[in-house]
Amino acid sequence: MRILIVDDSSVMRKIVTRGLRQAGFAIDEILEAGDGQQGLEVLSNQTVDLILSDWNMPNMDGLTFVREARKTIQTPIVMVTTEGGEGKVNEAIASGANGHIKKPFTPDTLKDTLGKYFA
């Protein structure tokens, strides 16, 4: 399993990585990008099995990243963000995201939401 984490905070990328490992997921490789543009660059050179993306990032935000990524890939994308209102979740899903995890989260939250992608 190869995962791409797209978040402008290097600390948050580490927290997500730690949470995934604490949740017990078998992960072969974790790739990182600091914004949506970098995420698209990674996807142009790598294939991944799952993408976790923040919403609020400089250069290219998470929704724009999802819309652009959907033009070329069908890889599951889950938003991991502080944006948690029902309208925002619906906007993310309408943009092409497969799911949503609200920050802050626990390893159990990751396990419950992402477990279907690790079957």
| Average pLDDT per consecutive 10 residues, the chain (119 residues; last block may be shorter) | 97 96 94 98 97 95 97 96 84 94 94 90
Residue 39 placed within a domain: yes
Task: Tell whether 46 is covered by a domain.
Answer: yes
Q: Can you spell out the DSSP letters for 25-56?
A: ---SEEEEESSHHHHHHHHHH---SEEEE-S-
Task: Give the pLDDT score at 86.
Answer: 85
pLDDT of residue 83: 79
Antiparallel, parallel or unpaired: β 29-33 and 99-102: unpaired
Looking at residue 101, its pLDDT comes to 94
Q: The CATH number of the domain where 64 resides is what? A: 3.40.50.2300
Structural domains in the chain (count): 1
- Look up the pTM and report it: 0.95
Domain that includes residue 102, residue range:
2-109
pLDDT value for 88 = 85
pLDDT at position 67? 97
